[in-house]
A = this chain, B = another copy of it.
Amino acid sequence: MNEYIRKAKEEAQLGVNSHEGGPFGAVIVDKAGNIVGKGHNQVLKNSDPTAHAEIQAIRNACKNMGTHNLEECTIYISCEPCPMCLSAIIWANIKNVYYACDRKDAAEIGFRDDAIYEYFSGNNKQILKIKQINREECLDIMQQYKENSGTIY
């Protein structure tokens, strides 16, 4: 068993033992092989639907490293990341992802990861109603940012 997947599973076990959320854990490893961040699902403990293992691990690694850019890092997760977490991994510039259980295993125990993937595939659109309004009235703030800041990330 991969040593970092084992660590991710240990994180998941911590969360399950303490009833902090779902059975999911993650660790982030730098290019030297050091664990620079870790986390487990704490949705229930924190009353925070975004407190998935990967988000917690990314926030932890960024805090430890003082950057929002984890481009040299790899993430190991006890279960496949949901679209929220996979997108967070992309925003963090992490390029390599290893996971153990998958979205179908998560569905088996009642989680909606697979349903959310379906939404992004163009199915399951009834999951929410989304509508664009007032675009013209808000475009100026985008332009303002481009002119004044120009920070691309």
Contact = CB atoms under 8 A, between A and B. Distances in A.
Contacts of A142: 23, 79, 101, 105-106, 108-109
A13 B47 contact: no
A74 B70 CA distance: 33
Contact of A121 (B16, B67, B120): B120
A102 to B, nearest CB: 6
Interface in A52-84: 55, 58-59, 62-63, 66-70, 78-80, 82-84
A88 B84 CA distance: 6
Nearest to A76: B133
A122 B94 CA distance: 19
A5 to B, nearest CB: 5
Contact of A137 (B69, B70, B100): B100
Contacts of A49: 58, 62, 68-70, 88, 91-93, 153
11 contacts: A16-B149, A47-B63, A50-B91, A79-B138, A84-B85, A90-B127, A98-B131, A99-B130, A99-B133, A109-B146, A110-B153
Interface of A: 1-2, 5, 9, 12-13, 16, 19, 22-23, 43-44, 46-50, 55, 58-59, 62-63, 66-70, 78-80, 82-102, 105-106, 108-112, 116-117, 119-122, 127-135, 137-139, 141-146, 148-153
